[in-house]
Amino acid sequence: MFQHISEFYSWFSKRTANNQYDVQQIPLENMGGWGISYDSGNITHVSGKFFSVMGVDVTTDHRATERWQQPIIVQPEIGILGILVKVVAGTVYCLMQAKMEPGNINLLQLSPTVQATRSNYTRVHKGDSVPYLEHFITPRPDQAVFDTLQSEQGSWFLRKRNRNMIVLATSEVTVLDNFCWLSFDQISTLMAVPNLLNMDSRTVLSGIPFLFSDVYGDRLKLSKSSGLPHTSLHSIEYLLSWFTDMKARFSLARELIPLRTVSSWSLTDGAIVREDGRHFSVIGVDVRASNREVGQWSQPMLKPSQRGVIAFIGRYINETFHILVHARTEAGTNDIVEMAPTVGCIPSNYDGMASEDRPLYLDVVREAKVDSILVDVVHSEEGGRFYHAENRYLVIDAGEDFELEAPLDYCWMTVDQLTSFVRYGNYVNVGARCLLSCLIEESASLAPKLVK
Amino acid sequence: MFQHISEFYSWFSKRTANNQYDVQQIPLENMGGWGISYDSGNITHVSGKFFSVMGVDVTTDHRATERWQQPIIVQPEIGILGILVKVVAGTVYCLMQAKMEPGNINLLQLSPTVQATRSNYTRVHKGDSVPYLEHFITPRPDQAVFDTLQSEQGSWFLRKRNRNMIVLATSEVTVLDNFCWLSFDQISTLMAVPNLLNMDSRTVLSGIPFLFSDVYGDRLKLSKSSGLPHTSLHSIEYLLSWFTDMKARFSLARELIPLRTVSSWSLTDGAIVREDGRHFSVIGVDVRASNREVGQWSQPMLKPSQRGVIAFIGRYINETFHILVHARTEAGTNDIVEMAPTVGCIPSNYDGMASEDRPLYLDVVREAKVDSILVDVVHSEEGGRFYHAENRYLVIDAGEDFELEAPLDYCWMTVDQLTSFVRYGNYVNVGARCLLSCLIEESASLAPKLVK
């Protein structure tokens, strides 16, 4: 355990120095172990395992475009993202791992204790190559205090979900190389450091409030005067009814199609790119690492065209901070809509467009003044599938002049109301969960500043 | 409103006398408006609306049979099942409808205020033929106090779900012919009457505890001495983790196939039957009614081979009644498993089989003694799709000698823990929800008897 956060930085920089990596972009056709099907153009591993890149045809009445085609990652297996925690003298500590992923900015980031695929954790032979996995698979000695299936990026994954777990260790845990205990307060501080806590960590950590709601749950109650009762605009019944209405009202139909036939996309110069260069491309990478089970491998990755913005717009209502949640439909969304940030897009996709053609509320975020910014940090998405996929995570206090009226697929709720949906799975999308993780820290440090 | 329940019976018998119906089984080939596709053998309406009967090929590692084929009803539209309620002097009243459905035992049963299809409630023109629908579609004047998507019979429907709603009326409501206000206590009493409250009513009523949890929620806390704190064996976190583990552990794959090619089933004498006569058949019916928008129609229906049993086995643990919940996989289950009764089957399917080949715990239910039976009532399933589909609903107190150890896909929980999952949708299956509705009454009347 680190007495001071500077000790962590020192440890982490040693990890970086000790592990040598080299990641090079290569043509998709040259990836060892992966093939492009002659018939379909789909990209699959020779073993049939891991994941595939296919095409999808999407029809919905809940996007600006009624029908489109795009490449998408298909990975039906449910993996485990698990953090082992312990409590010492009333403080929660998380066992975190310094882990390299080829798509990571800085290559090395902090990941959960375990990232495991289903083949890892259901295998009969207990020759586990994944350290600490025994704490996360039944029968296990410890208690899972948070354990739910959560979706991942719906624009890039078809119905992907992983099992997010927080397990309370009940016996002594040996700390292996590349692992360290960090107190939850230290993690909260590190959450403000760009590209350090990886996406897998951030999504699991959004479950922390359920672990010790008396300590950490209270941080989510952003009210102007801490003595006041916490008052939400809507009841939980209202929010559930709104969300049900969205699922009943809108439709989303998907059909897998051969990647080769996806319109407006083509295999050009070793990558699959969109004619207009927007959204993302599919590239190949070659990885050489000293620190992984396999010393060298190739794989396809999705590379976004530019940095994205994932933002909640909020304001005080009844002296309590509320955020404007969007019921959002994406190509790969599991069940029509999920609760999402107010804005989630790559702004440069809309450069030069008229205001009415840009995503709703994007301009409000772009024009936000320094004093209104509660959270502002750049994090990157899962480095095992996405190459340098950076998003700027923002929470804006738009002020009490910001109009309460919003389109029917937006709804105001408090931060702890949104948090309460996280434990049930498939309610809150990955962008919103990551923002909630950022807010746990901000709630503690910024709420007092906001008392007028 | 009825001062005494006898006034209701008088009203209901007049409704029965005033409405003349005739339902006859006819060959599937003779149904007007419905056709059997020459290529696939699938049964569809000429308009393409309503529903279809198709074939499904099922593969799973969570049933006694690893792979099978069967006919299944496909109806992707989300309908509304809604009950309008009002509160007078602290008592909750529900607006119920005396409604004929061709598959009903006794033809006339009590249904929710509204049963509407998506085409009803999304139509632009407000020429509503469904009374009271305006209370259930946005923008609505009243508050939805319960509103969630719930699954229906997974053995017969592919991923079917309906929107279950309870709406609190805020202004005067005119009571139309065939409608009546019943207090929730009166409904609880009528729940013990065989084949009176239809399935749609029972599933919506399982949401009542959320409406007035201070009044009705307490009924679900079956404890031996009412003064004692209510103690559950497991925490909600444990139950959520168990349920997540079931979804991650088991698999369920389905593929729609032509009805004509379903193995072990064939079109014989105007019905689709299984060679061994087990499970169900698909029949045609001709309906003549005085009381429906359409005076005459034909339709296909599913007809179970025999009466089924849907039962919770329970016992007291820590002085609190617990039930043994099964994580169950059926052909049409939306997401691998749902929380289901301990036993759900047609017992005659297993006549003559060895004990180890019969469904787990079926023998415990069959051998239960009179004194151990908390609930015992015959209800029928949705009469618009199922013909005389009766189930005997049972809750058994198996006694404190009944072993706590159970297979990993069974879990003990209290009645109010199971109830707490109902509002999130797709957690609790239709059989378990109907048993919960029965238990609201039984909890009030039987709990005192159980104090030893």
Among B432, B234, B203, B423, which Cα is nearest to B327's? B432
Residue A295: per-residue pLDDT: 79
The whole-number pLDDT of residue A124 equals 37
pLDDT in tens, B33-86: 999 999 999 999 998 888 999 999 999 999 999 999 999 999 988 999 999 999
* Distance in angstroms (rounded) separating the CA atoms of residues A168 and A210: 12
Q: Is B212 on the interface with A (CB under 8 A)?
A: no
Kindly indicate the confidence band of residue B444, based on its pLDDT and cuts at 50, 70 and 90.
very low
> Helix or strand or coil: residue B397?
strand
What percent of chain B has a predicted confidence (pLDDT) above 70? 89
Does residue B409 contact residue B324 with C-beta atoms inside 8 Å? no
How many C-beta neighbours within 10 Å does residue A260 have? 17
- Residue A142, chain B, CB below 8 Å: the answer is no
The residue in chain B having the minimum alpha-carbon distance to the alpha carbon of residue A142 is B238
> If we measure between CA atoms, which residue out of B264, B81, B51, B65 comes closest to residue B158?
B51
Within 8 A of B240 by CB-CB distance, chain A residues are: 147-148, 423-424
A231 touching B, CB under 8 A? no
Q: How many CB atoms lie within 10 A of CB A234?
A: 17
A51: its two tokens: 């994941």
Q: Which two tokens stand for residue A135?
A: 């704490």
**Interchain contact B11–A (C-beta under 8 A):** no
Give me the pLDDT at residue A91, please: 85
User: For residues A301 and A26, what is the distance between their CA atoms, to the nearest angstrom?
Assistant: 11
In this structure, which amino acid lies at residue B242?
W
Contact between chains at B122 and A245 (C-beta distance less than 8 A):
no
Partners of residue A143 in chain B, C-beta under 8 Å = 237-238
Which has the higher per-residue pLDDT, A182 or B18? A182
**Reported ipTM:** 0.89
The CA-to-CA distance between both ends of chain B, in Å, stands at 38
Tens-digit pLDDT profile for residues B330-367: 999 999 999 999 999 999 999 989 988 999 999 999 99
B244 in reach of chain A (CB within 8 A):
yes
In this complex, is the C-beta atom of A253 within 8 Å of any C-beta atom belonging to chain B? Answer: no
The CB-side HSE value for B223 (13 A sphere, CA atoms) comes to 14
Q: Which residue has the higher pLDDT, A97 or A122?
A: A97
Q: What is the DSSP string of A144-167?
A: EEEEEEEE--TTTBSS-EEEEEEE
Q: Any residues with CB less than 8 A from the CB of A272 and at least 6 apart, and which?
A: A28, A53, A71, A259, A265, A266, A281, A282
Sequence-distant (6+) residues with CB within 8 A of B326 are B339, B340, B341, B342, B343, B344, B409, B410
* Nearest neighbour of A210 by CB, restricted to B118, B144, B237: B237
Residues of A in contact with B161 (CB under 8 A): none
Closest listed residue to residue A171, CA positions, set A143, A213, A146: A143
How far, in whole angstroms, is CA B316 from its chain's centroid?
26
- B5-21+30-215: CATH superfamily: EvaA sugar 2,3-dehydratase subunit (3.90.79.40)
Of A151-160, A183-192, A236-245, B289-298, the poorest mean pLDDT is in B289-298
Mean pLDDT, residues A332-340:
97
The overall average pLDDT reported for chain B is 90
Cβ of A138 within 8 Å of Cβ of B245? The answer is yes
d(CA B381, CA B423): 21
**A433 in reach of chain B (CB within 8 A):** no
pLDDT at position B218 is: 56
Does pLDDT of B124 surpass 50?
Answer: no
- Reduced to 3 states (helix: H, G, I; strand: E, B; else coil), residue B287 is strand
> Is some CB atom of chain A closer than 8 A to the CB atom of B138?
yes
Using a CB-CB distance cutoff of 8 angstroms, which residues of chain A are in contact with residue B147? 237, 240-241, 244-245
For residue A135, what are the contacts with CB-CB under 8 A and spacing of at least 6?
A82, A84, A113, A114, A141, A142, A167, A169
Q: What is the DSSP string of A261-329?
A: G-TTEEEETTEEEETT--SEEEEEEEEEESSSSSSEEEEEEEEESS-EEEEEEEEEETTEEEEEEEEE-
Cβ–Cβ contact B78 with A under 8 A: yes
What tokens appear for A168 in the block? 């309370």
pLDDT of the residue at B447:
36
Q: Do strands A280-289 and A320-328 pair parallel, antiparallel, or not at all (unpaired)?
A: unpaired
Task: For A236-254+306-450, give the CATH class.
Answer: alpha beta
Which residues are bridge partners to B377 per DSSP?
A: B393
What pLDDT, on a 0 to 100 scale, did the predictor assign at position A21? Answer: 85
A-chain residues near B149 (CB < 8 A)? 244, 247-248
The winner for highest mean pLDDT among A21-25, A141-145, B154-158 is: B154-158
Of chain A residues 166-205, which have a CB less than 8 A from chain B? none
How far, in Å, CA of B226 to CA of B242, rounded?
A: 29
Query: Higher pLDDT residue, A279 or A21?
Result: A279
Give the model's confidence band at A64: pLDDT under 50 very low, under 70 low, under 90 confident, else very high: very high
Residue B25 has pLDDT above 50, yes or no: yes
H or E element that contains A228: none
- Put simply, whether B144 touches A (Cβ < 8 Å) is yes
Q: Which of A434, A440, A358, A360 is nearest to A392 (CA)?
A: A434
CB A166 within 8 A of CB A85: yes
Q: In this predicted model, what pLDDT tens digit does every residue of A343-395 receive, in sequence order?
A: 999 999 999 899 889 999 999 999 999 999 999 999 999 999 999 999 999 99
What is the spatial distance between Cα A85 and Cα A112, in angstroms, rounded to a whole number?
A: 10
Range of weakest confidence among B202-211, B247-256, B429-438: B202-211
Q: Per-residue pLDDT tens for A411-438?
A: 999 998 999 999 998 999 999 999 999 9
Nearest to B78 by CA among B135, B143, B157, B145: B157
User: How far apart, in whole angstroms, are the C-alpha atoms of residue B68 and residue B56?
Assistant: 8
User: Where do the H-state alpha helices sit in B117-273?
Assistant: 118-122, 184-190, 199-205, 208-211, 236-249
Look up residue A390 and give its DSSP letter. E
pLDDT over 60 (residue A214): no
Is residue B123 within 8 angstroms of chain A, CB to CB? no
The chain A residue lying nearest B237, using CA atoms, is A145
CB contact under 8 A, B237 and A145: yes
Which residue does chain A place closest to B235, by CA atoms?
Answer: A145
**By the CB < 8 Å criterion, does A237 face chain B?**
yes
pLDDT at B121 (0 to 100): 62
Contact A310, A389 (CB under 8 A): no
Taking the CA of residue A116 and the nearest CA in chain B, the distance in Å comes to 12
Question: Which chain A residue's Cα is nearest to B425?
Answer: A244
Which residue in A118, A148, A249 is closest to B244 by CB distance? A148
pLDDT band at residue B129, thresholds of 50, 70 and 90? confident
What is the percentage of chain A residues whose pLDDT exceeds 70? 89
- State the pairing for strand pair A308-317/A265-268: unpaired
pLDDT in tens, B171-187: 899 999 999 999 988 99
In three-state secondary structure terms, B232 is: coil
Instruction: Report the C-alpha gap between A28 and A42 in whole angstroms.
Output: 11
Nearest CB neighbour to A248, from listed B78, B247, B248: B78
Helix (H, G, I), strand (E, B) or coil at A173: coil
Contacts of A245 in chain B (CB under 8 A): 138, 147
Domain coordinates in residue numbering, chain B: 5-21+30-215, 236-254+306-450
Contact: A247, B149; criterion CB under 8 Å:
yes
Q: Do B424 and A423 touch (CB under 8 A)?
A: no
Rg over alpha carbons for chain A, rounded to the nearest Å, is: 22
Tell whether the torsion through CA atoms of A322, B417, B64 and B373 is positive or negative.
Answer: negative
Average pLDDT, chain A: 90
Q: Choose the mutation target among A150, A243, A244 for the interface with B, i.e. most B CBs under 10 Å.
A: A244
Mutate which of A237, A251, A410 to disrupt the B interface (most B C-beta within 10 Å)?
A237
* Beta carbons of A147 and B240 less than 8 Å apart: yes
Given an 8 Å threshold on Cβ–Cβ distance, is B210 in contact with A237?
yes
Residue A65 has pLDDT above 80, yes or no: yes
* pLDDT at residue B19, as a whole number: 78
Q: Is the distance from CB of B155 to CB of B331 less than 8 angstroms?
A: yes
Q: Which residues on B lie below 8 Å from A78 (Cβ)?
A: 247-248
pLDDT band at B125 (very low <50, low <70, confident <90, very high): very low
Examine residue A139 and say whether the peptide bond preceding it is cis (omega within 30 degrees of 0).
yes
In B105-160, the DSSP E strands lie at 108-111, 114-116, 143-151
When computed from its CA atoms, the radius of gyration of chain B, rounded to whole angstroms, is: 22
Q: Is the pLDDT of residue B236 over 50?
A: yes
Cβ atoms A376, A329 nearer than 8 A: no
Angstroms from B237 CA to nearest CA on chain A: 6
Assess B450–A contact: CB distance below 8 Å, yes or no: no
Place of tokens 């590209």: A195
Closest CA to B139 of B175, B167, B172: B167
Query: Average pLDDT, stretch B442-451?
Result: 39
Provide the pLDDT confidence category of residue A447 given band limits of 50, 70 and 90.
very low
Q: Is the pLDDT of residue B191 over 90?
A: yes
Which band of pLDDT confidence, cut at 50, 70 and 90, is reported for residue A446?
very low
How many beta-carbon contacts under 8 Å exist across A and B?
65
Average pLDDT of the segment spanning B379-394: 96
**Residue from B167, B241, B426 to probe the interface with A (highest A Cβ count within 10 Å):** B241
